[in-house]
Structure 1
Amino acid sequence: MSNINLIIEERAADIGNFMVGRLLPFRQKRMVGPFIYIDHMGPVKMNERQNFDVLPHPHIGLSTLTFLFEGSIMHRDTLGNEVEIKPGEVNWMTAGKGIVHSERTPEYLRHSEKNMHGLQIWVALPKHLEQMNPEFFHIGSNEIPSWKEGDVEFKLVAGEAFGRKSIVPVYSPMFMIEIKSSSKQTLNIGQHLFGEAGLYIMEGGIESDCNAYESKQILVAKNSSLCEFTILENSTIYIFGGEPYPEERFIDWNFVSSDRELIEQAKQNWREQKFDKIEGESEFVPLPIYPKK
């Protein structure tokens, strides 16, 4: 019997001046472990007049994980951080009780052609840490655990798996693993996983129980301990998940919480511009106004 419980197709979503492929949340599966939101950005080529500009916007109750394959993003936040994110690095920002950040094409690239490709991920915080003080960490590509087994390359982007631990300071049991293979290989990795597990096919494909799956799909396992599949040649996949929370998580715009009242208060605080400001930035993303149902 197949271990695949759900197949999620990438869906187009507009985040301002940029289109992304929305993967989570999904109406039939709001979260996979603590992962509550995944966007696939690009790949897109921008000319000298086009730039990636996400204006200052707030978050509560989550950690953001930015992981680029191509391009560069300048991150600024209300903690005073100003860091350029480059391919292979991990940007890990924990909002806790509230943080504001912006994401833009760096100044030195704004008048030239450039590419953009990467993943934007939100990881919900455990209930007792939803109101923690905000934090920020930037991890270099050479600090991420990487290893090779034959033609298969592994990278532990965040969390714990395969007897290894990433230095990304996560706040609940979770994992995010990159797997690349230059040849067709059958992998049985269930013994290294726990909780819930999703598999995102970035490029190439996999085969499982006589079925073939292509890029831009997330497969959610019925049982992470039974995670066995065949990865096709020249394929890249991401396996993510971990222990799910006992409480429901609510998501409204950029806010995540187990308490709807905290989200409503955050929305009101943003309307009234009570969040801290990023030094040197005056623009901001207004709170969306949704049509009444």
Structure 2
Amino acid sequence: MSNTKLIIEERAANIGNFMVGRLLPFRQKRMVGPFIFIDHMGPASLSSKENLDIAMHPHIGLSTLTYLFEGAIMHRDSLGTEVEIKPGAVNWMTAGKGVVHTERTPEYLRHSKKMLHGLQIWVALPKEDEQCEPSFTHVAAAEIPTWKENNVQFKLIAGKAFGKQSPVPVYSALYFIQITSSDTKTISIGDHLFGESALYILEGSITSDGHTYGPKQILVAKDSSLCAFEIEANSTLYIFGGESFEEERFIEWNFVATDKALIEKAKEDWKADKFPKVVNETVRIPLPAPKRFGG
């Protein structure tokens, strides 16, 4: 890990009634490969009177990847999808030219104590796909490629790496890998990666070049061959990245695009209630005051 270029600390952010740790975008690093936004949700212990309730909100120009460690979320969208996601599974929603969705605590959990913990990730779409038709795919936990090497557990949540391919239908060359070890081990996997690469420590720590890095840090590499390090016992980390896009990406609120005009149109369409609706949902999150990244 001697070629670490940047260390990003997790920062608190509020998404309505729920606090998350925001990892990307960061002032000095807007994207890692096609990954443009990462939130760490929880871990949160919710009482019988507390629930996740994210009302209707829109997206364009990206795919969302939801991956839970604990708890459950009911996803509903303007495509007519209604799917509960549980730990280890993947919800992959491609917004393209525009989609609307909600994320709520499932009905059967709303009046009991529960935990919620996971990652919310946005992956920018290639320029030629950013206005594609929206779609949704749910991939069950059992379908995600999982294997062991030297008593270290690997899981390829999305993309291609290690000669394997996740069934998550990504649009560009990328990887999102979970690594878990109950023992202290030396790991060298740079030959399996490509493009830009970053490492996020969920729990435990890693050691490289005499430096120890702990939870809630992202280490961004100078190149994809970053990954030679010692993972400490009882650690879980994520390596993500891939090929970068040639064009700059702009991000404002829930919108991502190569052209600011697409974002301005999406903002006006949301204010004018022109986006598609989610069945049986009536509450819409209003467009917030401008807060720009990447432009």
Give TM-score, length-normalised by structure 2.
0.98
RMSD (CA atoms): 1.1
Name structure 1 gaps, 5 residues minimum: none
Q: 2:275 corresponds to which letter in structure 1?
A: F
Q: Which residue of structure 1 lines up, in the alignment, with residue 107 of structure 2?
A: 107
**Cα shift at 1:150:** 2.8
Structure 2 CA distance for partners of 1:109 and 1:291, relative to 1, 3 Å = closer
Q: Structure 2: how far apart are the matches of 1:291 and 1:88?
A: 33
The C-alpha deviation readout for 1:28-83, integer Å capped at 9, x for no partner, is 00000000000000000000000001101000000000000000000000000000
Q: How many residues align?
A: 292
Give the corresponding residue for 2:142.
Answer: 142
Q: 2:182 and 2:150 mapped to 1: Cα distance? A: 9
Q: Matches of 2:134 and 2:291 in 1, distance apart?
A: 32
1:121 & 1:291 partners in 2: Cα distance? 19
Counterpart for residue 225 of structure 2: 225
Could you list the structure 1 runs, at least 4 aligned residues long, displaced by more than 4 angstroms after superposition. none
Other structure's SS at 1:5 match: strand
CA distance in 2, matches of 1:291, 1:190: 36
Q: 1:162 to 1:287 in 2, by over 3 A?
A: same
In structure 2, the residue matched to 1:77 is 77
Counterpart AA for 2:160: E
Task: State the distance in 2 between where 1:226 and 1:66 align.
Answer: 25
Are 2:253 and 2:291, in contact at CA under 8 Å, matched by a contact in 1? no
Native 8 Å contact 2:61 2:131 kept in 1: yes
C-alpha separation in 2, matches of 1:226 and 1:251: 27
Listed as ranges, the gaps of 5+ residues in structure 2 are none
Take 1:291 and 1:255, find their aligned partners in 2: how far apart are those partners? 12
- Quick check: 1:163 aligned with 2:163? yes
Q: How far apart, in 1, do the equivalents of 2:229 and 2:277 lie?
A: 47
Structure 1 residues 41-190: aligned runs within 5 Å: 41-190=41-190
- Please report how far the alpha carbon of residue 290 of structure 1 lies from its aligned counterpart in structure 2 after TM superposition: 4.0
Shift of 1:291: 8.6
1:237-292 deviation digits (Å, cap 9, x = unpaired): 00000000000000000000000000000000000000011110010100002499
Q: Which stretch of the first structure deviates more once superposed, 244-253 or 221-230?
A: 221-230
Provide the C-alpha distance between the structure 1 equivalents of 2:259 and 2:290, rounded to a whole number of angstroms.
20
User: Distance in 1 between the 2:186 and 2:219 partners?
Assistant: 17
TM-superposed deviation, 1:223: 1.5
Q: In structure 2, give the amino acid aligned to 1:248.
A: E
**TM-score (normalizing by structure 1):** 0.98
Distance 1:98 1:85, change over 3 A: same
